[in-house]
Amino acid sequence: MQRPRLSLWWKSLSAALVLGGGASMLHAQSLQDLYTAARGYDASYQSAKSLYDANLAKAEQAKAVLLPSANFALGASRSNQEVLPNPDRSYGAQTATISASQPLYRPVNKANYDQGMKSVEAAKAQLLAAEQDLIVRVSQAYFDVLASTDSLTFVKAQKAAVAEQLASAKRNFEVGTSTITDTREAQARFDLVVAQELAAENDLRVKSIALNQLVGVSNASPKPLAAPIVLAPVEPADPEAWVQQSAARHPALAQLQVALDVAQLETAKAEAGHKPTLDLTGSYSAVNNNGTNQAVGDSRVNVATIGVNFNLPLFAGFATQNRIKETLALEEKARTDLEASRRTIAQATRTAYFGVQSGQAQVKAYEAAEASSQSALDANKLGYQVGVRINIDVLNSQSQLYSTKATLAKARYDVLVGGLKLKQAAGTLAVEDLAPINAQLVP
C-alpha cells in the first residue's frame, strides 16, 4: 500500500515558512517602534496631552490672585456753557490715574491658588493614565496581529497536510488499497480547512487594519517572538504586594485624591465667607483743567493716595452657612468615591495577578499538550503506514496538533499582555516595561 511521506513534506513546508518569514522581517517593526509611532499619532493620547498642557497654564493663572494688580486710566472731557446774555464759554479737563492694590489677607485667594496647584497633580495623573492605556492598547493590537498570523500559518499548514492526505486517499482508492470512505473523509476535512483559512485570512486583515489605525503606520508588520520563548515569572509573587502598589501609585486614585483635596479647599473657601479681608491700595491722579464753569484759566491738581481696605462680612442671609453644609457634603462624596475606587482597583489588581498566574500555568499545560499531540500524530502516521490506522485518524491528529499550536501561541501572547495589564492595574506601568518584551522579538 502506498503511503504519503508526510515527514518529508513537513520539512519542506517548514523551510518555506522560515524563508517567507525572513523576507517579511525586512520591513517588520518592533513593539517599541510601533508604540513610538502611536504616541505621536493616537488621538486619545494627544487629547490627554493637550489637556495636560492646558491645566498647566490654568494653574499658573491661580498665582494671579496672590500678586498685586495695577491699572492705568486716561480721561478727557469738554463742556460748553451758555448763559444768556453772556457769551458762550467752553472748558475741559484731562485726567490720568495710576492705581494698584495688593491683597494682604484673603483666605479665598489662597484656597484658589492651592486648588490651581492641585489641578497640576490631576493633570499629571490623567496623562500617566493615558500613556499606560496607550501602552496596553498598542501591545494588545500588536499581539492580536501575531496571534492571527500564527493561526493563519497553522491553518495553511493543516490545509497542505490535508491536501496531501486527500491526494493519497484518491491514489489508494484508484489502485484499490482503500475505500471511498477515506477519500470522502479527506475531502470533507479539506473543505472544512478551506473555510477555516478564509476566516483566518479575514481575521488577520481586520486585526492588521486595527493596528495600522492605532499606530498611524500603513502595513505595520509586527516582529514575532524569537524561539525559545521564555515567560518571566511574576515579581513580586504576592498579590497583596501589587495591591499596595496600586494604592500608592494608581493614577485614578491620584486623581480622586486630588478631587478630595479640592473639595476640602472648597470647604475652606466657604468658611472664609465669615472672615475679613484686608487689601493695600494706592493711586496717583493728575487732573488738568482748562477753566471751569466759575473761572477762566488753567489749573492742575495732583492727588496721591495710599491706604488699606478692611472688610468684615456681618450677615449674608445664611448663604455662607448653607454653602458650608453643601461643601461638606460634597467633600464626603469625594471621600466615598475615593474609597470605592480604591476597593475596585484592589480587586482588579488581584484579578489581573491571578490572571497572569493562570495564564502561565495554561502555557505550561499547552506546551505539554503540544508535545503529546505531536507524539499522537507521529504514532498515527506510523499506524497509517503499517495499516493499523485509517486516514481520519491522521487527519484528526493533525487538526488537534495545529489547534494546540495556535492556542499555545495565543496563550503566550495573553501572558505577555496580561503582565502589562497587571502593571497598569497597579499603576506602575511605564514605557520601560516594553523593553523586556522587545528583547524577546526576532532581531
Q: 14-24: per-residue pLDDT in tens?
A: 444 443 444 34
Is residue 378 assigned to a domain? yes
The whole-number pLDDT of residue 200 equals 94
Is residue 97 assigned to a domain? no
The whole-number pLDDT of residue 292 equals 65
When computed from its CA atoms, the radius of gyration of the chain, rounded to whole angstroms, is 39
- For residue 61, how many C-alpha atoms fall within 13 Å in the half-sphere facing its CB? 7
Q: Would you place residue 381 in the very low, low, confident or very high pLDDT band (cuts 50, 70, 90)?
A: confident
Is residue 80 assigned to a domain? no
* pLDDT of 428 above 50: yes
Cis peptide before 239 (omega within 30 of 0): no
d(CA 147, CA 149): 5
Cα 9 to its chain centre, rounded Å, is 46
Q: Would you place residue 295 in the very low, low, confident or very high pLDDT band (cuts 50, 70, 90)?
A: low
Q: Please name which of 396, 382, 1 lies closest in space to residue 188, comparing C-alpha atoms.
A: 396
pLDDT tens for 54-109 read 988 888 888 888 899 999 999 998 888 776 676 677 778 899 999 999 999 999 99
Is residue 311 assigned to a domain? no
Is residue 94 assigned to a domain? no
Number of independent structural domains in the chain: 1
Cell of residue 307, nine digits: 491706604
Q: Which amino acid, residue 401?
A: L
Q: Would you place residue 293 in the very low, low, confident or very high pLDDT band (cuts 50, 70, 90)?
A: low
Q: Which amino acid, residue 417?
A: V
The whole-number pLDDT of residue 58 equals 86
Is residue 428 assigned to a domain? yes
d(CA 122, CA 119): 5
Q: Are 78 and 88 in contact (CB under 8 A)?
A: no
- Reported as type and span, the H/E element at residue 207 is helix 180-215
Is residue 288 assigned to a domain? no
Q: Which residues pair with 309 in a beta bridge?
A: 279
Is residue 46 assigned to a domain? no
Domain with 257 in it: what CATH number? 1.20.1600.10
Domain hosting 188: range is 6-39+107-275+317-439
Q: What is the mean pLDDT of the chain?
A: 88
